[in-house]
Structure 1
Amino acid sequence: MPEVRPGLPTGKPPRLQPLRALLPYVARYRQAVALALLFLLLAAGATLALPYAVKLLVDGGLAVPVGSDLGERLSAIRGQFLRLFGVAVMLGLATAARFYMVSWIGERVTTDLRQAVYAHVLRQSPQFFETLKTGEVLSRLTTDTTVIQHALGSSVSMGLRNLVLLLGGMIMLVTTTPRLMLTVAGIIVLVVLPAVLIGRRVRKLSRASQDRIADTSGLAAEILNAIPVVQSYTQENAEVARFSEANEQAFITSIRRSGTRSALTAFVIIGVFGSLLYGMYGGVQAVLAGEISAGQLSQTALYVMVVAGSVAVLAEVWGDLLRAAGATERLMELLAARSPVEDPPLAAALNAPAAGLQVVFDGVGFAYPSRPTQPVLQGLDVTIEAGQTVALVGPSGAGKTTVFQLLQRFYDVGAGSIRIDGIDLRGARLADLRARIAVVAQEAVIFSGSIADNIRYGRPAASEAEMHLAACAAFVDEFVQRLPEGYATFVGERGTRLSGGQRQRIAIARAMLKNAPLLLLDEATSSLDAESERVVQAALEAAMAGRTTIVIAHRLATVQRADRIIVLDHGRLVDAGTHAQLIERGGLYARLAALQFSV
């Protein structure tokens, strides 16, 4: 059975029920759907007309008395063949138009669905990704949408067409030999009922197969993002073995699904085809008894082929739709997920982003949702005035990074409140709040693209001159000038073509270009060499002027000139003051300082 994903719905709708969730996406293109249905009906009608045209050929052309004039016979046959050719032309054109329209609908709906899921996932809080691997999300965006695209762009159309052919063929057969074909229809019902039960098993296995594929994708994404660590610890063989095991489980589940689906297909085809052959045998007996003509027998034989072929296709389509139902169910789980951090119904207006902001922590308590019994912050009371530079120091696990996450409202506080210029963060629009904050993390995040693209990520509308100014201030221009393509240089995925210090400088330039009133620095210069650190530190100090800055630092030498130093330990405020005051008091800060330099 598939793994239960925390935070996502676990209900299992019966059979094709999940496909109903696709209707709003299909309904956007009613005209295209109407055209596809029109061409589908024309193609099905032309197919159903072929056996009747053959009947007319046999009875009206070939069955002309032997003594008749040869020219008359050839003329009659020629007319019948022209009629057959006309039906074939209509069938070809209608089939081509139907294929194009349904392919367009399938591609368009899948594109819209992929876009909706991606946009929805991007708006989820980090809590969402605590319970779901990014590799699994990617699997749902790619593998599952491909399954749905195949269903909408091919299987649904083929299913509807063959359903029309099945019903039309059965109607024509009942019209030709009513008593016999009604008996055949009853036999077919007895075949279909067990097929429905087998179909339920196929749907469950389809969902399980998609889950196992997602597991392998999640594992691969995790390892590929940590290749240097894997190779450094020589764990290549171990990771290959781990992936092989997950891959083999996906294969076994997929084969079980394919085996059950194959059994379903064989059961339906043999049962229905046997029933139709029984009807055909009765038709031959009717010709021998003089009850129907040879043309009617030919018509009956062709309709039997049409119905049997339709049943075979419908059996395949049913399996495709069951698999698509599992894929749709997984995508709808993502769309049904709701972030606990959302915009308030009535958002308060924040001040213009040009001035520094006052930040107040009032009795803040917090524990991560994945560890609700382990508080990270407890009763934190801190007031940071506009324009101040405040440093957060303390041992690992003291809650420093959590403060940054709460300020950006990646999570909501569990107790107390955080206010910016007197407004509770929970009462402000997320976009407005985050537009007023610039962050430089300890590990610089660089996107695939050019150096200029990465700097402009802070403010895409910035001019070339503004971008260059920020780059020069962050000491980026120094190494860019040595690159053949300058700021257009492609940096590779996650900036792999750059050194750690170069990536950090680009991240600093990005934050400076954003020009936000609240600057959060998480060991922003930790990856720089001594010379670069000195220059960038000077640039950062210039950027701090006139705005509120909060600095996380483990190297205490970088925070000695802060207006105030906040000392945290186990989520509590244990001391606060200037560097000199804290050293004089001889508390935790003094002990940390003594470990790093002589006081």
Structure 2
Amino acid sequence: MIFRMFESLVDAFRDPEEGMPPQTVWRFYGFYLKQVWKVLLIACVVGLAAALVDVSLLGFLGQIVDLARNPGRHFFQDHALQLVGMGLIALILRPLLIGLHDLLINQAIAPSLTNRIRWQNHRYVIRQSLSFFQNDFAGRIANRIMQTGSSLRESAVQIVDAIWYVLVYTGSALVMFAHADAWLMLPLLIWLALYVATLAWFVPRTKHRSWQASEARSKLMGRIVDGYSNIQTLKLFGHTRREEAYVAEAIDGQVAAIQRMTRLTTAMDVTINLLNGVLIVATSGLALWLWSRGQVTVGAIALATGLVIRINNMSGWIMWVVNGIFENIGTVQDGIQTIAQPRSVQDMPGAPPAQVSRGAIRFEDVHFHYGQRGGVISGLDLVIRPGEKIGLVGPSGAGKSTLVNLLLRMYDLESGRVLVDDQDVARVQQDSLRSQIGVVTQDTSLLHRSIRDNLIYGRPEASEAEIAEAVRKARADEFIPRLVDGEGRRGYEALVGERGVKLSGGQRQRIAIARVLLKNAPVLILDEATSALDSDAEAAIQESLESLMEGKTVIAIAHRLSTIARMDRLVVMEQGRIIESGSHAELIDRGGLYARLWQRQTGGFVVAEEAPG
């Protein structure tokens, strides 16, 4: 019960504030820590109390030594109240405070704050544009999301603990030494100045090298995950040794970065231990000298020696804590580079959801170059009537797939407009727009989940009967019942592997078609939708595709021209422009690019320029 009470203090799934996380380290910390400031404040107060109790026990030690020098006949009777008080503090108060501190840190803060940071960072990053993910390793992005949460939480907790122990122990020691004899303060004050100077010199350098080590670790993770994600390509080309060398280079870089960091750590450790040795010898020697002159008691010697030994142990702990804090700050700083990036494609403030019913599409003077100086799409105009079915034709690089991505608003235009049912796609909510456009792509990628989970991605509320009907229409019922994964799950419950690698290309394509059948969106995009199917399989589901297209506005891209020849209209693109438009028969009679492509395909060959665009 008590564990649950503390575990409920911090909600791991609190919705984040809107907008980009701060890009500076301290504001980034503040952005997340202010969400749990009450729990952190309580932990801070409890930590202060626990540190004060620890120091008071050392003070009691000095008192006991002085009392024991002249015990008297009724020692326990004379000092019963004082001794009982010491015992209660040691037996009850100290364990209670330490237990409360552990509950706050281990139950309230450690699991929930760490995962709240991960959750909020993930929610922000997953809404990044397509280009954001195309420009980085998926493994490195995931690694930074995971590491940033734990490093931020751990360094924040370490700071809270370290501050109180430093202030309480050094402050209390100075007060107690001054009470015994002011001269006892001198070695501690000199040590404190040298200790702070040592940390001031080493810590910034450690922070920088920790950031370099974290960057090297993220790079290594990205390379390893990239190899695993493309394992089939690696094996097909027989480049295992090349891949080993690629990863070895990153490991070598990380080893070098860690070595540079640990050199500083070792040097700081040696320096601090040397200072600590001087502190113990100087304080103990001074206390003995003062005792020999009758200026302090034996209890003061015990107190001074006990305190400096405790400070010695604490200083080593503080050194490692400070080193850990800045190592974690370096990791957070590395994570900020990925997490705190502006979204290039964002919904406008107050953007309404898209309302698509007819499926009218219009491209008006569209310009888009992927940041290049020219090419791709230049001044394109195209009107697609509601329910019209068009085929996009053209050589590789003509801009066909780019045009589809602009309709889906995967990228923002440089100029011009794209309208769906007279709604500018840049002024409506992205998710609502895409939810009303069904897409089957050439490179079908399935989630590493069950067949059922992949199917209902099209419509999560779909009934079993609707799922079965979509599967039947896509001719996927021929293989789904026979599927078995490595853990014995069968049929709809079988997992498909990362990106669907446990299925053949044709099987993945049929699952994708069934998924879009379930979605039943008014606008349909077929980007080489049957490219992974053999002629028999394509013929088998052609009826299903025609059923799928019925009553919808369709944009189909295919280099096997026979699959789109029956479309209402064919639009021929070259170098980002529309150069021909008309029916199959009209374009053949015109004798232009489409006629030449058709002739080459029906003549039994397809040249390189006709690869998928």
TM-score by length of 2: 0.89
Distance 1:472 1:23, change over 3 A: same
Give, as a single letter, the amino acid of the residue that structure 2 aligns with 1:361: F
- Equivalent pair of 1:184/1:276 in contact (CA under 8 Å): no
**Matching residue of 1:4:** none
- Give the secondary structure class of the aligned counterpart of 1:565: strand
List aligned pairs for 1:87-102, cutoff 5 A. 87-89=89-91, 90-102=93-105
List aligned pairs for 1:281-430, cutoff 5 A. 281-347=285-351, 350-351=354-355, 353=356, 355-369=357-371, 372-430=372-430
CA distance in 2, matches of 1:22, 1:112: 13
**Matching residue of 2:61:** 54
Q: Deviations over 1:536-559 (max 9, x none)?
A: 221111111111110010100100
Give ranges in structure 2 of 5+ residues lacking alignment. Answer: 1-19, 485-489, 605-613
Q: Deviations over 1:276-299 (max 9, x none)?
A: 531221111111111111112111
Shift of 1:167: 2.7
Instruction: Give the CA RMSD over aligned residues.
Output: 2.3
Shift of 1:36: 1.5
**Matching residue of 2:8:** none
- Equivalent pair of 2:49/2:97 in contact (CA under 8 Å): yes
- Equivalent pair of 2:44/2:160 in contact (CA under 8 Å): no
Say whether 1:164 aligns with 2:168.
yes
**Matching residue of 2:229:** 225
- Equivalent pair of 1:348/1:423 in contact (CA under 8 Å): no
- Give the secondary structure class of the aligned counterpart of 2:479: helix
Say whether 1:206 aligns with 2:210.
yes
- Equivalent pair of 2:158/2:325 in contact (CA under 8 Å): no
Distance 1:79 1:301, change over 3 A: farther
Say whether 1:255 aligns with 2:259.
yes
- Equivalent pair of 2:283/2:304 in contact (CA under 8 Å): no
- Equivalent pair of 1:135/1:222 in contact (CA under 8 Å): yes
Q: How many residues align?
A: 578
- Equivalent pair of 2:394/2:573 in contact (CA under 8 Å): yes
Shift of 1:579: 0.6
Say whether 1:552 aligns with 2:593.
no
**Matching residue of 1:111:** 115
**Matching residue of 2:475:** 475
Shift of 1:426: 1.2
- Equivalent pair of 2:118/2:148 in contact (CA under 8 Å): no
CA distance in 2, matches of 1:582, 1:315: 78
- Equivalent pair of 1:159/1:317 in contact (CA under 8 Å): no
Shift of 1:531: 2.7
Shift of 1:523: 0.7
Say whether 1:539 aligns with 2:544.
yes
CA distance in 1, matches of 2:45, 2:114: 22
List aligned pairs for 1:63-74, cutoff 5 A. 63-64=69-70, 68-69=72-73, 72-73=74-75
CA distance in 2, matches of 1:159, 1:319: 14
Say whether 1:432 aligns with 2:432.
yes
Distance 1:44 1:184, change over 3 A: closer
- Give the secondary structure class of the aligned counterpart of 1:213: helix
- Give the secondary structure class of the aligned counterpart of 1:55: helix
CA distance in 1, matches of 2:248, 2:140: 17
- Equivalent pair of 2:353/2:428 in contact (CA under 8 Å): yes
Shift of 1:81: 5.9
- Equivalent pair of 2:220/2:247 in contact (CA under 8 Å): yes
Give ranges in structure 1 of 5+ residues lacking alignment. Answer: 1-7
TM-score by length of 1: 0.91
Q: Indicate the larger mover: 543-552 or 164-173.
A: 164-173
Shift of 1:345: 2.4
Distance 1:76 1:10, change over 3 A: closer
CA distance in 2, matches of 1:409, 1:559: 24
Shift of 1:136: 1.6
CA distance in 2, matches of 1:360, 1:304: 79
Give, as a single letter, the amino acid of the residue that structure 1 aligns with 2:400: K
CA distance in 1, matches of 2:215, 2:544: 49
- Equivalent pair of 1:346/1:427 in contact (CA under 8 Å): no
Shift of 1:309: 2.2
Q: Deviations over 1:139-165 (max 9, x none)?
A: 212234333343245564245334432
Pairing partner for 2:529 from 524, 530, 534: 524
CA distance in 2, matches of 1:39, 1:284: 36
Q: Indicate the larger mover: 148-157 or 321-330.
A: 148-157
Give, as a single letter, the amino acid of the residue that structure 2 aligns with 1:185: L
Q: Indicate the larger mover: 197-206 or 309-318.
A: 309-318
- Equivalent pair of 2:386/2:552 in contact (CA under 8 Å): yes
CA distance in 2, matches of 1:390, 1:426: 23
Shift of 1:584: 0.7
Shift of 1:55: 1.7
**Matching residue of 1:3:** none
- Give the secondary structure class of the aligned counterpart of 1:398: coil
CA distance in 2, matches of 1:397, 1:586: 22
- Give the secondary structure class of the aligned counterpart of 1:381: strand
Q: Indicate the larger mover: 318-327 or 123-132.
A: 123-132
Shift of 1:503: 0.9
Q: Indicate the larger mover: 402-411 or 125-134.
A: 125-134
Shift of 1:131: 3.2
Distance 1:274 1:328, change over 3 A: same
- Equivalent pair of 2:280/2:305 in contact (CA under 8 Å): no
Shift of 1:74: 6.0
- Give the secondary structure class of the aligned counterpart of 1:439: strand
CA distance in 1, matches of 2:180, 2:410: 70
- Equivalent pair of 1:360/1:384 in contact (CA under 8 Å): yes
CA distance in 1, matches of 2:516, 2:263: 56
Q: Indicate the larger mover: 513-522 or 73-82.
A: 73-82
**Matching residue of 2:510:** 505
Say whether 1:274 aligns with 2:278.
yes
- Equivalent pair of 2:376/2:575 in contact (CA under 8 Å): yes
Give the fraction of aligned pairs with identical amino acids, expressed as a percent.
Answer: 30
CA distance in 2, matches of 1:216, 1:175: 56
